């Protein structure tokens, strides 16, 4: 079992309590209308029209979106009781719990791959606690509450499966036959391929795979035979080729070159990208004043407030200190570097370097996957303090857990826009 039945039952009960209020809030006034309620592809046709329905789904954009599998998901939920928001919200909660279970498994695999000497019982505890806090993290409420964000949940699910199969191939590389190794890679690639048809952000997944492979081969090259290494290289090349194709589809669908927010100068957006970076990190661990739209701090023709420039200085101070720590023994920090790499790969496109097609500075849902790896990163160092400051750590965890629980419950009850 990935998570023991008793622990899983506890998680389910907590999540039901946290998100109980969303079952009655109905549909959102933002995006739920054109993505779901007014989307003709949600209505499955009669048997004789199936071919044209599938063709229309996969060969056309709907507004500025290309997410045909997400539309099929809507169609399946619609089959239960039509446009009943209860079942759409319930489905989101179920998928969120499933993602938590899968992330717990992925966290364990990541520890085993890069921290093989870590006590297995301890890493299971760390991953379970990390999963619990991720499931009730206020920053993830938007992705669960907002029906139109189901594509985030589903894309994340298949991305997690992609990473699980890939890391599994590395963990078993010394005992697997070539056939079993290839099967794992094929399953990983299939999940990556499917994830894109839920949400375009999936084209960043090859960067995560590349980071895992780079960190792993840097200290385990001798364990990988030439035949297996060749398969890994082919697999990675194929992922990047398809990623390039997915990028083209995304640009064509989203029409980013026509974004009205290019009116904000590039230099201002670059400065704001450092602020967004710290905002995302801060909102994972100490969330306050979370809501749907975070507006720009100035109008396009106004000067950017000076305080935002300080985040550039803070960023490079942290980079310098991190370099001094990690450079002493780089191989001992591959786990931490991977967590950071996944975080950056998931948010780099939403840091305002490339303007969004929406009048917002940032959005909580973009942190849905990467927030887990920030929590996992922090959990490792929290565990190191466990024996010396056990009482303090227990107090902090309970306090943070209660705060997450109460704040997420509140957000779920009022997040109706």
Q: What are the pLDDT digits (tens) for 72-104?
A: 999 999 999 988 889 999 999 999 999 999 999
Question: ∠256-417-97 over CA atoms, to 5°?
Answer: 85
User: Into how many domains does the chain fold?
Assistant: 1
366 lies in some domain: yes
Alpha carbons 265 and 304: distance in angstroms, whole number: 10
Question: Hey, is 259 helix, strand or coil?
Answer: coil
* Domain region containing 325: 7-414
Residue with token string 């599998």: 69
Alpha carbons 85 and 107: distance in angstroms, whole number: 33
* pTM (predicted TM-score): 0.92
The alpha carbon of 199 is separated from its chain's Cα centroid by a whole number of angstroms, namely: 11
2 lies in some domain: no
- The H or E element that residue 385 is part of is none
Contact 251, 332 (CB under 8 A): no
Specify the DSSP class assigned to residue 300: T
Give the total residue count for the chain. Answer: 417
143 lies in some domain: yes
Question: Hey, is 99 helix, strand or coil?
Answer: helix
1 lies in some domain: no
Residue with token string 């194709």: 245
What is the residue-wise DSSP string for 188-235? Answer: HHHHHHHHHTT-GGGGGHHHHHHHHHHHHHHHHGGGS-HHHHHHHHHH
**Which of 281, 288, 291 lies closest to 344, judged by CA?**
281
**Cα-Cα-Cα-Cα dihedral of 5, 9, 15, 18, to 10°?**
-150
Alpha carbons 300 and 302: distance in angstroms, whole number: 6
The alpha carbon of 235 is separated from its chain's Cα centroid by a whole number of angstroms, namely: 22
Q: Which two tokens stand for residue 289?
A: 């004043």
Contact 24, 88 (CB under 8 A): no
Alpha carbons 69 and 194: distance in angstroms, whole number: 8
**Which of 114, 136, 130, 245 lies closest to 192, judged by CA?**
245
**136-180 per-position pLDDT tens digit:** 999 999 999 988 889 999 999 999 999 999 999 998 887 767 788
As averages over each run of 10 residues, the pLDDT of the chain (417 residues) reads 78 91 79 79 75 79 80 91 90 95 94 87 90 95 90 95 94 80 93 92 91 87 78 92 87 60 75 91 92 80 88 93 82 88 89 70 88 93 81 89 94 77
Q: How far apart are the first and last CA of the chain?
A: 39
């Amino acid at each position: 079992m990935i998570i023991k039945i008793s622990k899983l039952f506890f998680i389910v009960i907590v999540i039901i309590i946290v998100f109980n209020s969303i079952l009655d809030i109905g549909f959102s006034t933002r995006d739920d209308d054109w993505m779901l309620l007014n989307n003709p592809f949600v209505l499955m046709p009669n048997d004789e029209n199936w071919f044209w329905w599938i063709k229309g789904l996969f060969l056309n954009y709907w507004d500025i979106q290309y997410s045909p599998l997400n539309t099929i998901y809507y169609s399946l939920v619609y089959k239960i009781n039509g446009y009943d928001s209860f079942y759409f919200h319930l489905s989101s909660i179920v998928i969120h719990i499933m993602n938590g279970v899968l992330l717990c498994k992925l966290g364990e695999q990541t520890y085993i791959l890069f921290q093989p000497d870590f006590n297995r019982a301890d890493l299971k505890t760390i991953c379970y606690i990390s999963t619990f806090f991720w499931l009730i993290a206020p920053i993830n409420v938007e992705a669960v509450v907002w029906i139109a964000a189901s594509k985030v949940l589903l894309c994340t699910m298949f991305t997690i499966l992609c990473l699980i199969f890939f890391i599994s191939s590395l963990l078993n590389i010394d005992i697997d036959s070539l056939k079993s190794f290839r099967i794992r890679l094929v399953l990983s690639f299939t999940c990556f391929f499917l994830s894109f048809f839920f949400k375009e952000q999936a084209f960043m997944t090859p960067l995560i795979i590349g980071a895992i492979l780079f960190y792993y081969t840097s200290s385990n090259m001798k364990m990988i035979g030439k035949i297996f290494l060749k398969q890994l290289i082919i697999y990675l090349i194929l992922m990047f080729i398809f990623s390039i194709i997915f990028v083209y589809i995304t640009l064509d669908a989203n029409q980013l070159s026509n974004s009205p927010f290019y009116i904000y100068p590039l230099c201002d957006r670059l400065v704001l990208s450092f602020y967004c970076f710290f905002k995302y990190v801060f909102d994972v661990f100490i969330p306050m004043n979370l809501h749907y739209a975070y507006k720009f701090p100035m109008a396009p023709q106004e000067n950017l407030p000076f305080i935002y420039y300080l985040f550039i200085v803070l960023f490079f101070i942290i980079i310098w200190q991190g370099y001094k720590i990690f450079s002493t023994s780089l191989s001992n920090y591959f786990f931490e570097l991977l967590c950071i790499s996944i975080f950056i790969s998931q948010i780099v496109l939403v840091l305002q370097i490339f303007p969004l097609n929406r009048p917002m500075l940032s959005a909580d849902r973009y942190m849905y996957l990467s927030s887990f790896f920030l929590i996992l990163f922090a959990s490792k160092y929290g565990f190191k303090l466990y024996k010396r400051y056990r009482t303090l750590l227990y107090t902090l965890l309970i306090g943070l857990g209660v705060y997450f629980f109460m704040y997420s419950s509140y957000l779920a009850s009022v997040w109706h826009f």
